[in-house]
Amino acid sequence: MNVLFVKHGDKYNANHVTYLIEKLKLYIDANFYCITDKPNVLCNIIPCGPNLKVWWNKLWLFQLDLPGQNLYFDLDTRINNNPLPYLKWDGLTLVDCPWKKDTPINHNYDVRINSQVMTWTGQEQKHIWEHFATNPDYFMRKYKGIDRFMIHEGFDYNTFDHDLIHSKKYGEYNDQPVTTYEELDGTNFT
C-alpha cells in the first residue's frame, strides 16, 4: 500500500506530514510519499509536477506510477482510529459530505463531495490527469478546486461510508476514524 500526501507552499509544515505518518503507522504497513516543493519531510519525496496552484497539485497523484493500493490524505486531517476497515478500492473513492446535506448549494459548481481522503489502485485513474493536462489553465480558472473539476468533468467515483469521516468544521463529531479540519496550526497534535 502507498500512502500519499501533498505539501505545497507554506500553509502546512513538515509536522503535518510527520503527524499523519506516525498515526497511520499504528494501523498501516505502507510506503509513505509526499509530493512537495520543499523536500524537508521525512518520507519518500516526489517533486511537484508542473507549476500548478496549491490544491491542483493533488491531480499530479493520478499520473504517478505506483503499483498497488493508493491512499491519500489532506494535511488538515486527523486520524482518530484505524481507517483500514472502512477503505474501498473499487475505482476512485472520495469523501461524501453528509454534513453538507442541508447546506444550500449556491453556485453551479458547488459539490457535496471532497478529496480530503481518496483511494484508488495503481494507475487506473491516470485518465483524470491526462484530461486535466489537455488545458490546465482553463480548468484552474473554471473550477474552484479539484472536487468541482472531477464532478463536473464527469469522472466516475465512489464514496466512503459515512462511518469513516466526520468534519470538525461542520460540527459533525463522533467516533469516526478520520476527522477533517479546515485549518490546523501544526503545533497542537494530540
Tell me whether residue 136 is in a domain: yes
In sequence order, the 6+-apart residues with CB closer than 8 A to the CB of 32 are 2, 3, 4, 5, 21, 24, 43, 44
Tell me whether residue 92 is in a domain: yes
Which pairing describes strands 113-121 and 165-167: parallel, antiparallel, or unpaired?
A: unpaired
Residue 189 has what pLDDT?
A: 36
Tell me whether residue 62 is in a domain: yes
Q: What is the dihedral of CA 168, 106, 104, 113, to 10 degrees?
A: -50
Q: What is the mean pLDDT of residues 6-27?
A: 91
Q: Is the pLDDT of residue 102 over 80?
A: no
- Identify the band that residue 29 occupies on the pLDDT scale cut at 50, 70 and 90: very high
DSSP 132-172: HHTSHHHHHHH-SSHHHHHHHTT---EE--TTTEEETTTT-
Q: Is the pLDDT of residue 174 over 60?
A: no
Half-sphere exposure of 80 (CA within 13 A, CB side): 15
- How does pLDDT run across 83-94, given as a tens digit for each residue? 999 899 989 999
Domain of 98?
A: 2-180
Give the lowest-confidence range in 69-78, 84-93, 100-109, 114-123: 100-109
Tell me whether residue 102 is in a domain: yes
Tell me the C-alpha distance between 63 and 133, whole Å: 10
Residue 101 has what pLDDT?
A: 67
What is the pTM for the complete model shown? 0.86
Tell me whether residue 41 is in a domain: yes
Cell readout for 44 is 519518500
What's the CATH code of the domain at 56? 3.90.550.10
Tell me whether residue 189 is in a domain: no
Which pairing describes strands 44-47 and 158-159: parallel, antiparallel, or unpaired?
A: unpaired
Tell me whether residue 185 is in a domain: no
**Type of residue found at 114:** N
> What's the domain count of the chain?
1
Range list of H helices, 33-90 = none
Tell me whether residue 17 is in a domain: yes
Q: Is the pLDDT of residue 187 over 50?
A: no
Instruction: Check if the beta carbon of residue 161 is closer than 8 Å to that of residue 148.
Output: no
Of residues 170 and 160, more confidence is placed in: 160
Tell me the C-alpha distance between 40 and 34, whole Å: 10
Residue 171 has what pLDDT?
A: 59
| Cα separations in angstroms, 83 against 64, 116, 118, 145, 161 | 23, 14, 12, 25, 11
Cell readout for 124 is 487506473
